[in-house]
Amino acid sequence: MPRVLDTAARDAAVIQAAWHVIAREGITALTVRRVAAQAGLAPSSLRYTFPTQAAVREKAITAVSQRLSQRIAALPADLTAQAWARAALLELLPLDQQRSLEMEVFLALGMAALTDDSLQPLWQQADTVVRDVCTKAITAAGGEPTAVQVDRLHALIDGLAFHLLVRDRTRGHDWAQHVVDRELRSLAARRL
């Protein structure tokens, strides 16, 4: 067998390129040619592993799911329940450049999934990861994971993520952590 391609590494590189294109130029600029250029490949070469434009979109969102659950799983095992809840929720917020990238792709493709049926199930997979973390965080923080509680925390987390991206490109992120801390405290007090 001749020349072998590390398909995993290639996929990762292309997905990273797609993420960067979305972050820098927006979802409308997610074209085969631009992604290829960002990845340093000829468009025709990109097509060898990503046969269509849809494949780029789909693998881009699938990668978000994976990265997300991967980062949650990588949290230190020796945390108290309270500390785990806090750390896990903060992993869902765009508090550094890497997470900003993920969240921007997550939200941009979430909006795109509204009008792209092939994207919807893949995006909902990522959405489920977030929701599961919210559920576990409620329990860990000492609350009861009722439907209303989960709906509430989940909405709050995604809303915070959105606002961190949209309103605080440069400013600090302390306010979002304050909101999360306040939420955790009220969960622990079981007052909500």
Partner DNA sequence: CTCGTTTCCGCACGACTGTACGACTACAGG
Partner DNA sequence: CCTGTAGTCGTACAGTCGTGCGGAAACGAG
Binding residues (CB under 8 A) for a copy of itself: these are 23-29, 104, 107-108, 110-116, 123-124, 127, 147-148, 151-152, 154-160, 162-163, 165-167, 175-176, 178-179, 182-183, 186, 191-192
Contacts with 124 (C-beta within 8 Å, 6 or more apart), sequence order:
113
Contacts (CB under 7 A) with DNA, residues 2-31: 2-5, 7, 10, 29-31
The percent of the chain in helix, strand and coil, each rounded to the nearest 5, is 75, 0, 25
Q: Token pair of 177, please?
A: 């952590």
The single-letter code of the amino acid at 189 is A
Q: Token pair of 33, please?
A: 């040619």
Return the residue of 27, 32, 95, 188 that touches DNA, per CB under 7 A.
32
Give whichever of 52 and 66 is closer to DNA, judged by the CB atom: 52
- What is residue 29's DSSP assignment? G
Other Cβ atoms closer than 10 A to 61: 25
| Alpha helix (H) residue ranges in 26-52 | 32-39, 43-49
Give whichever of 54 and 114 is closer to DNA, judged by the CB atom: 54
Q: What is the DSSP code string of 112-158?
A: HHTT-TTTHHHHHHHHHHHHHHHHHHHHHTT----HHHHHHHHHHHH
- To DNA, the closest distance from the beta carbon of 60 in angstroms equals 13
- To DNA, the closest distance from the beta carbon of 30 in angstroms equals 7
Stretch of 50-58, 108-116, 123-131, 141-149 lying at the interface with DNA (CB under 7 A): 50-58
- Which listed option, DNA, a copy of itself, none, makes contact with residue 121 (CB within 5 to 8 Å by class)? none
- Which listed option, a copy of itself, DNA, none, makes contact with residue 24 (CB within 5 to 8 Å by class)? a copy of itself
- Which listed option, DNA, a copy of itself, none, makes contact with residue 154 (CB within 5 to 8 Å by class)? a copy of itself
Positions touching DNA (CB under 7 A) are 1-5, 7, 10, 29-34, 41-45, 47-49, 51-54
